[in-house]
Chains A and B, each alone.
Chain A
Amino acid sequence: MALLKAQGVVKTFPGVVALNNVNLTIRPGTIHCILGENGAGKSTLVKVLTGVYVPDKGEVIIDGDNALQHPQSFSKVAYVPQELSLFPEMTVAENLFMPFAKSGINGALVTGARLNQAALPHLERFHIEVSPRALVKNISISEQQLLQIARALTNRSAEVLILDEPTTSLTEQETERLFRIVRRLKDEKHSVVFISHKLEEIYALGDEITVMRNGEQVASAPIGEMTQRQLIVHMSGRDFDLDETFRPESPRGKPLLEVKNLSGSGFQDIDFTLYEGEILGFAGLIGAGRSEIMQTIFGFLPEKSGEVTLNGKRWKFRDTNASMKNGLVYLPEERKHHGILPLLSVRQNIGISVLGETTKGFLISSAKEAEIARQIITLYEVKTSSDEKRIVFLSGGNQQKIIIGRNMRGQPKVLIFDEPTKGIDVKTKADIYRIMKELAERERVGIILVSSEMKELLRCSNRVVAVYHGRKTGEFDTGTTSAPEIVSAIIGAEGVHHG
């Protein structure tokens, strides 16, 4: 009998089909792995299974009950998110039993001694080796994770446990301990849904596997019936329709940025060289350390060791100002957080980067500023009714064009784009690709393109560097590489493409 079942689940958001006819069966006492690239629909599926989203079509059956009609049955499903939701300034025991009434801690007076006493057997059961009196902020991430699992299973008497990429920040030993506990839960006839990108973990732990891609369930099978090779092909898609490509075609020039043995927070020993007139892709999963590498080179994060040569000169990591003066520009991933000044106009958002050009004496010339703004709007085909419009009212793609335009005023040599088309519609994406290609071909800049979208990397880059767990796991020439090879490298399946 299935403990948890999704039947024909469809979930759409305005303009996007996030889940298309997903049928999932989680049997009692099994570990079911869900695999898929970023944006494949895993988190939407989890939200449907936990009752956060109501699907447009289809049913969720929990323990024989139609959960959409009996929402209380969702309490049998516990979810442990990647970002833990504990109370850092409260004790382990308080966290374990919060909210008290639900976990059988009754009465008006809840003393610490009583809670701590009640917590001990639970802590022991989950191998949590800390005092119930310890503050959660003072215990390790691994202990916090186990505590969150314990909380889910203690006071909600959940039967299905969903773990979302639980090993991302764990050491090997901590991962082992987690696996032991997960296996014991399985023996106790709980079901575990395990979301992960890491092939070795999936093969070590899983009984069944479901692969998601673009909101579709591409495959579901017992783990023994699917080889690694098949898995990777399912994940990346075999027939990759690249449509038009935007790889720079002019011959590449001299080396612009040479990185040797660079280590920093979240990555080690990164080596690569970026040449004039090329686009170098950086592939990796979220959390693999790609943004950290780029922000370190840009001088926003401190480096630990390594050597970088920029345009023939030994480059010292100082600050973002020095980087920009030396022709190195980083266009951050989170436009909203790092890029735009949302409440200011298009003109002012451009103006903040070109103050050197617009300032005479002490004062900024608004006329000069507006002139530059209009030049950028025309040159990069920005769709805006006026340069006085607040930048937040422009679409993401047009915001991105403005960020590119204002950065090109300083005539940089190296441009680092971090997820430049995230949340941008298909048509504008092609505009951004064309702009990147032209900058590489005409202005002879070197471009680094950090992207989670395999198709984007293959369409735009001449070469792709793969990063897994803070280390470089491969470098590919996109002219002669297929997607599964790169995907193998970014999910740490070394050597898979040879077999």
Chain B
Amino acid sequence: MANTIAESNDTRLASQSMLRSLLANQIAGVFGILIVMIIVSHFLSPTFLTGYNLTIIMRALAFAGIVALGQCLLLILGELDLSIGAIAGLCAVVGGMLMVQAKIDPFMAFAICLLLGVLCGFINGMLIAGLRLNALVATIGMTGIYAGINLVATQGRAITGIPQSILFLGKGDIAGIPVPFMFLIAVAIIITVVALCTPFGRYIYAIGNNREAAQMLGIKVNKVRVICFMIAGLLASLAGMLMVARLGSAQPSIGNVWVMASIAAPVIGGVATTGGVGNPLGALIGAAIIGVIENVIVLLGVSPYWQTIVSGAIVVLAISFDSIHRNFMKKGS
């Protein structure tokens, strides 16, 4: 009798593994979607595939993309940080103040702000891993605190007069490629290598898969969690500082709209909202898909207010696919 169970399991497993191999190449699939969207966009708007427009897209998606790569690690870990937009904003205005009011060397100020981002991530991580707070609620609360400090410090006014020497980080090009986009690619490569090829990356996946098993294997679970929040904070502040260099001023509103995209991009790219699965490259491609959609909306002359609706719809659609996919897999096993 047991044999027949094993056999029926085997056939079912075989059919599942075919399905698996189709889904396994999720990155290729998502990349295919991006290509299709680029082709469709080309037919919708003749200006889409011009070199100038492509640099606009690259520059635009760099910021939310960098933030999304940090969020991506947290999602794989089974966590979430909703305050990374606020961390970006806080770091941006602190950077502006250091450069303009304290007249600190702009690159030194840049570095200090990166450390500030790490510190904010550390605080979030300690609250969540140390005090065992719920990540969602804790980071909503911390959003209020970081954004509040930002407003108290700036009174809501932008800090202008950022030194010229640092502006190329946001505005410049190298060989026609916008500098922020190069940062994005560099970050994407580093995060992907860390996630897929280092022991630390394996720990992230292990914890996201099964926290208790990870503990049993001797992985220092809470340490890994805190470090991931620190990485997310670091990347948020990097994006914030690049935005300061791009705008030439430190706006208190920097980062306000990044949180939604930071979650949407990894989810579109196949990172499960429940943790344990995904590839940072997927987050990068997801960010590119969002960038293309937002760009096309502008090119088609649709009211920018619609953009918000479209972005929201993408998030809901992406997590719906994620959930349908998961239920489908569950039915199989």
Q: Which residues of B contact A388 (CB under 8 A)?
A: 24
Q: Is there contact, CB below 8 Å, between A425 and B6?
A: yes
With A341-B210, A351-B202 known to touch, is A363 a contact of B276 (CB < 8 Å)? Answer: no
Q: Which residues of B contact A342 (CB under 8 A)?
A: 209-210, 276
With A330-B216, A344-B209, A390-B20 known to touch, is A352 a contact of B202 (CB < 8 Å)? Answer: yes
Q: Which residues of A contact B5 (CB under 8 A)?
A: 14-15, 425
Contact indicator per residue, chain B 268-302, by CB within 8 Å of chain A (1) or not (0): 00001000110000000000000000000000000
Min CB distance A128 to B, Å, is 33
- State which of B9-17, B28-36, B252-260 sits at the interface with chain A: B9-17
Contact indicator per residue, chain A 420-432, by CB within 8 Å of chain B (1) or not (0): 0000011110000
Q: Which residues of A contact B105 (CB under 8 A)?
A: none
Interface residue B228 (Cβ < 8 Å from any Cβ of A): no
- State which of B50-58, B107-115, B192-200 sits at the interface with chain A: B192-200
Interface residue A108 (Cβ < 8 Å from any Cβ of B): no
Contact indicator per residue, chain A 308-346, by CB within 8 Å of chain B (1) or not (0): 000000000001110010000010100001111111100
With A353-B217, A393-B333 known to touch, is A425 a contact of B3 (CB < 8 Å)? Answer: yes
Q: Is there contact, CB below 8 Å, between A425 and B212?
A: no
Q: Is there contact, CB below 8 Å, between B202 and A393?
A: no
State in angstroms the CA–CA spacing of A362 and B201 once bound together.
11
Interface residue A44 (Cβ < 8 Å from any Cβ of B): no
Min CB distance A129 to B, Å, is 34
Q: Which residues of A contact B206 (CB under 8 A)?
A: 341, 344, 352
State in angstroms the CA–CA spacing of A427 and B7 once bound together.
12
State in angstroms the CA–CA spacing of A343 and B212 once bound together.
14
> Closest residue to B16 on the A side, CB-wise?
A393
Q: Is there contact, CB below 8 Å, between A355 and B212?
A: no
Q: Which residues of A contact B323 (CB under 8 A)?
A: none
CB within 8 Å of A: which of B195-224?
Answer: 197-199, 202-203, 205-206, 208-210, 212-219
Q: Which residues of A contact B16 (CB under 8 A)?
A: 393
State in angstroms the CA–CA spacing of A425 and B2 once bound together.
5
> Closest residue to B8 on the A side, CB-wise?
A14
Q: Is there contact, CB below 8 Å, between B1 and A15?
A: yes
Q: Is there contact, CB below 8 Å, between A427 and B209?
A: no
Q: Which residues of B contact A337 (CB under 8 A)?
A: 210, 212-213
Interface residue A348 (Cβ < 8 Å from any Cβ of B): yes
Contact indicator per residue, chain A 373-392, by CB within 8 Å of chain B (1) or not (0): 00000000000010011101
With A16-B1, A355-B202, A393-B333 known to touch, is A343 a contact of B277 (CB < 8 Å)? Answer: yes
Interface residue A98 (Cβ < 8 Å from any Cβ of B): no
Min CB distance A321 to B, Å, is 4
Interface residue A359 (Cβ < 8 Å from any Cβ of B): yes
State in angstroms the CA–CA spacing of A14 and B198 once bound together.
43
Interface residue B164 (Cβ < 8 Å from any Cβ of A): no
**Interface size of B as a range:** 35 or more
Interface residue A300 (Cβ < 8 Å from any Cβ of B): yes
State in angstroms the CA–CA spacing of A324 and B16 once bound together.
35
> Closest residue to A345 on the B side, CB-wise?
B24
Q: Which residues of B contact A339 (CB under 8 A)?
A: 213, 216
State in angstroms the CA–CA spacing of A394 and B20 once bound together.
13
Contact indicator per residue, chain B 67-111, by CB within 8 Å of chain A (1) or not (0): 000000000000000000000000000000000000000000000
Q: Is there contact, CB below 8 Å, between B218 and A324?
A: yes
State in angstroms the CA–CA spacing of A341 and B212 once bound together.
10
Main secondary structure of the interface of B (DSSP, over half): helix
Q: Which residues of A contact B218 (CB under 8 A)?
A: 319-321, 324
Q: Which residues of B contact A353 (CB under 8 A)?
A: 217
Q: Is there contact, CB below 8 Å, between A343 and B209?
A: yes
Q: Which residues of B contact A344 (CB under 8 A)?
A: 205-206, 209, 276
Q: Which residues of B contact A363 (CB under 8 A)?
A: 193, 197-198
Interface residue B165 (Cβ < 8 Å from any Cβ of A): no
> Closest residue to A389 on the B side, CB-wise?
B17
Min CB distance A345 to B, Å, is 9
**Interface size of A as a range:** 35 or more
Q: Which residues of A contact B203 (CB under 8 A)?
A: 352
Min CB distance B81 to A, Å, is 21
Interface residue B4 (Cβ < 8 Å from any Cβ of A): yes
Q: Which residues of B contact A15 (CB under 8 A)?
A: 1-2, 4-5
> Closest residue to B194 on the A side, CB-wise?
A362
Q: Is there contact, CB below 8 Å, between B277 and A341?
A: no
Interface residue A496 (Cβ < 8 Å from any Cβ of B): no
Most buried by A among B24, B193, B205, B216: B216
Q: Which residues of B contact A330 (CB under 8 A)?
A: 216
Q: Is there contact, CB below 8 Å, between B1 and A341?
A: no
CB within 8 Å of A: which of B225-239?
Answer: none
Q: Is there contact, CB below 8 Å, between A393 and B213?
A: no
Q: Is there contact, CB below 8 Å, between A364 and B202?
A: yes
> Closest residue to A429 on the B side, CB-wise?
B2
Min CB distance A390 to B, Å, is 6
> Closest residue to A364 on the B side, CB-wise?
B197
Interface residue A395 (Cβ < 8 Å from any Cβ of B): yes
Partner of B276, one of A341, A362, A385, A393: A341
Q: Is there contact, CB below 8 Å, between B3 and A427?
A: yes
State in angstroms the CA–CA spacing of A393 and B20 once bound together.
10
> Closest residue to B333 on the A side, CB-wise?
A392
Interface residue A66 (Cβ < 8 Å from any Cβ of B): no
With A341-B276, A425-B5, A426-B2 known to touch, is A348 a contact of B212 (CB < 8 Å)? Answer: no
State in angstroms the CA–CA spacing of A332 and B212 once bound together.
11
Min CB distance B258 to A, Å, is 27
Q: Is there contact, CB below 8 Å, between B1 and A364?
A: no
State in angstroms the CA–CA spacing of A52 and B272 once bound together.
34
Partner of B13, one of A319, A362, A393, A428: A393
Q: Which residues of A contact B6 (CB under 8 A)?
A: 395, 425, 427-428
Partner of B213, one of A321, A341, A366, A395: A341
With A352-B202, A352-B217 known to touch, is A343 a contact of B4 (CB < 8 Å)? Answer: no
With A320-B217, A338-B212, A393-B333 known to touch, is A359 a contact of B199 (CB < 8 Å)? Answer: yes
With A364-B198, A393-B17 known to touch, is A340 a contact of B216 (CB < 8 Å)? Answer: no
Q: Which residues of A contact B333 (CB under 8 A)?
A: 392-393
Q: Is there contact, CB below 8 Å, between B197 and A366?
A: yes
State in angstroms the CA–CA spacing of A16 and B208 once bound together.
34
The 10 closest A-B pairs by CB, nearest first: A321-B218, A341-B209, A425-B2, A15-B5, A343-B276, A426-B2, A355-B199, A363-B197, A320-B218, A343-B277
Known contacts A343-B277, A395-B13, then 4 further A-B pairs from the complex at CB < 8 Å, ordered by chain A residue = A15-B1, A363-B193, A385-B17, A390-B20
